Amino acid sequence: NLHLEGCTVTTSSTVKPLGVILQSNLPFKNHINHVTETAFFHLRNIAKLRNMLSISNAEKLVHAFMTSRLDYCNALLGGCPASLINKLQLVQNAAARVLTRSRKYDHITPILSSLHWLPVTFCIEYKLLLVTYKTFNGLAPMYLSSLLTHYNP
């Protein structure tokens, strides 16, 4: 507990600023568990409606409810262990299977490729590399550009 001017402020092991669950040592385990839980909830609802939807409408629903959750702040997950990132990959794989009506034992790589989806690890790497590129080329906000020093041999 923290005491400030007669008020007691209790500490918390987790906080949720802007929708990302942060812990004191930044493992992101709670955040990934929350994202996968809500994503699977929405995916189950989409799967119930899948037979009544066209492929384009089903794809719109998956992008609205699933992909947006997987992509939101995923650059923060750059240093997370593969075991945690794999949980997000399972969500993406399940969404691809619902969209394409493929079986559980069908190989997932051609399915993701046919949908033009990158695997989750590559999405995270892409976002980090994009921010780095923008920072080096003056396209990023000044607070990021000011952190880098350019090397001129």
In this prediction the pTM is 0.83
The vertex-121 CA angle with 136 and 57, nearest 5°, equals 105
Quickly tell me which residue has 């997000």 as its tokens.
Answer: 88
What Rg do the C-alpha atoms of the chain give, in angstroms?
Answer: 20
CA distance 153 to 151: 6
Query: Tokens standing for 112?
Result: 């993701």
For residue 38, what pLDDT is reported? 94
Q: In sequence order, which residues have a C-beta less than 8 Å from that of residue 150 and are 6 or more positions away?
A: 136
Relative to beta strand 14-15, strand 22-23 is antiparallel
61 pLDDT more than 80:
yes
Q: In sequence order, which residues have a C-beta less than 8 Å from that of residue 117 and are 6 or more positions away?
A: 92, 96
pLDDT in tens, 85-97: 999 999 999 999 9
82 pLDDT more than 80:
yes
14 pLDDT more than 80:
no
